Structure formats: C-alpha cells, structure tokens
Structure 1
Amino acid sequence: MDDRHFRNAMGKFATGVTVVAVEVEGSVHGMTANAFMSVSLSPKLVVVSISERAQMLEKMNQSGKFSVNILSRSQQELSMIFAGQQKNQQEVKFERLSGVPVLAGAVAQIACEISAAHVEGDHTLFIGRVTDIHIEDFEPLIYFSGKYRALAEE
C-alpha cells in the first residue's frame, strides 16, 4: 500500500487537536499534534509522537518537560500556526502551569516531565509523567478526514 492510502485511512480516526509546547534556553517552541493519548492512570502518563523530521524532536530532548494543550473550537488558528500552515506568523502568548508553557483558552493544559522516549519507525514516542492539569469547559477542536470539525449536539 502507498503512503497516501495509509494516511487517508488514519485520517478516518477523529481526533482532538493539541499543541505540544516546550521551553529551551528561554524560548518557547510549539508543534500541532494529534498523535497524543493517555497511557496510564497509575502513574498518570501520556504519550506524544514526534516525527524524526520535526524541529520539535531536538527541543523535546533538550527540555525534559513539555505541555500538551488540548485546543478549543476557537483555537483553530493556533493549530494552523503551530502546524506551519499560516503565512503571517503572529506572536503567541504563553502562560505557565507548573513552570511549563501552556496556551490560554485550551480545553485542557497538561504539564509533563519526560519519563521515557522510544524510537519507533520514523517517530519518537515521548512518555510524559503528568505533573499538573488545568481544565476549562470549552468545546474541543476536532480533526477528521483532513478537515477541522466541531462536535454536534444531539
């Protein structure tokens, strides 16, 4: 099977949209990711998957800490900025949660310390031990079949 066929099939899994953020030498770096999931309740662990081609890979290794920001429906533009899809780069302001940069207005902000990294194929899976969480009651941003979506009320 070719790469496009595989990507199309994986795109049929509806996901939330996150921005993973780190701080290295006083500069904050972020990347849009939908390859995120919870791993364990005890201890509280999550995983994010970062491509070997992503600039974020080295930043994750340097930082040792990261945040996962589950984006709200109103944050589609932020998703596009951190995915490199916006030509007009605007400055994004970050807040702090347990010393880690987070995005205001996210459905959830999850602060993590890297507890392990596993290279699999062309990605590195970073296991994060959750150190703090902040939750808001906003509608999430959804991604399905190559398009941003919103939840529909029944």
Structure 2
Amino acid sequence: MDDRLFKTAMSKFATGVTVITTEVNGEVHGMTANAFMSVSLDPKLIVVSVAHKARMHDYLKQSDSFAVTILSEAQQHLSTYFAGKRKEDQSVAFDRFEQLPILKDAVVNIVCSQYANHVAGDHTLFIGEVSNIQLSDQAPLAYFSGKYGTVQIAE
C-alpha cells in the first residue's frame, strides 16, 4: 500500500485539534497535533505522537513537562500557525498554568510531566502524567479529511 492511501484513510478519522507547548531554555515552543488521546485513569496519563523530523520532537526530548491545549472552534488561526502553515509573523500571547505556557480561551488546557516516551516507527509517543486541567464550555475545533470543521452535538 502506498503512503498516500494510508494518509487518506487516516484522515477519515475525525479528531479534535491540539497545540502542544513546552519551554526549553526560557523559550516557548509549540506545534499543532491531532494525534492525542487519553491513556490511563490511574495514573492519569495522556499521549501525543510527534514525528522525529518535527522540531518539537527535540524540544520534548529536552523537557520534563509539557502542556496540551484543546482548541476551540474559534482558534483555527492558532492551529494553522502552530502547524507552520501561516507564513506571516504572528504574536501569540501565552498564559501560564502550573508554570507551563498554554493558550488562553481554549476548550481544555492540560499540564503534565513526562512519564515516558516510546519510539514507534518515525514518531515518538510522549506520555504525560497529568497534574492539572482547566476546562471551559466552548465547542471544539474539529479536523476531518484535511479540513477544519465544527462538532454538532446530537440531541
């Protein structure tokens, strides 16, 4: 099977959109990721999958903690910015939560310490032990088949 077929098939799984942030040597770094999930309730663990070729990969390897921001439907511009798809300079204001950089006005912010990481093919799975969470009542940004969307809640 070729790479294109595999990527197309995987894009048919609707996901939320997150931005992973960390700080290394006083500099904040972030990247958009939709490869995110919860792993365990006891202990409370989440995982993000980051390509070895991504700049964020090295930053996460150097850091002992990171944050995951689940974006709201109004934050598509932040998703494209942290995915490297916006070429113009954009000033991003970070808030702090448990000493980690986070994006404000998000659906959820999760802060965690690195619990483990595992190489899986051309990615590393970074497992974080959750230390705290911020929640808001906003609709999440969705991603399906290479396009952004919104979530319709069935009643």
Q: Same fold (TM over 0.5)?
A: yes
Look up the equivalent residue of 1:131 and give its one-letter code: S
User: Deviations 1:65-97 (Å, cap 9, x if unpaired)?
Assistant: 100000000000000000000011201011111
Q: TM-score, normalised by structure 1?
A: 0.98
Q: Which consecutive unaligned segments of at least 5 residues does structure 2 have?
A: none
Look up the equivalent residue of 2:56 and give its one-letter code: M
Aligned partner of 1:34 in structure 2 is 34
| Count of paired positions | 154
| Alignment partner of 1:136 is 2:102 | no
- Percent sequence identity is 56
Aligned partner of 2:117 in structure 1 is 117
User: Deviations 1:15-54 (Å, cap 9, x if unpaired)?
Assistant: 0000000001111000000000000011000000000000
Aligned partner of 2:91 in structure 1 is 91
Look up the equivalent residue of 1:86 and give its one-letter code: R
Look up the equivalent residue of 1:126 and give its one-letter code: F
Aligned partner of 2:79 in structure 1 is 79
Partner Cα distance (2:129, 2:99) in 1: 15
Aligned partner of 1:61 in structure 2 is 61
Q: TM-score, normalised by structure 2?
A: 0.97
Deviates more, 1:144-153 or 1:74-83: 144-153
Aligned partner of 1:47 in structure 2 is 47
SS in structure 2 of the partner of residue 7 of structure 1: helix
SS in structure 1 of the partner of residue 93 of structure 2: coil
Q: Which consecutive unaligned segments of at least 5 residues does structure 1 have?
A: none
Partner Cα distance (1:130, 1:27) in 2: 22
Aligned partner of 1:146 in structure 2 is 146
Structure 1 position 151, deviation (Å):
1.5
CA RMSD of aligned residues (A): 0.7
Structure 1 position 153, deviation (Å):
4.8
Look up the equivalent residue of 1:35 and give its one-letter code: A
Partner Cα distance (2:131, 2:112) in 1: 5
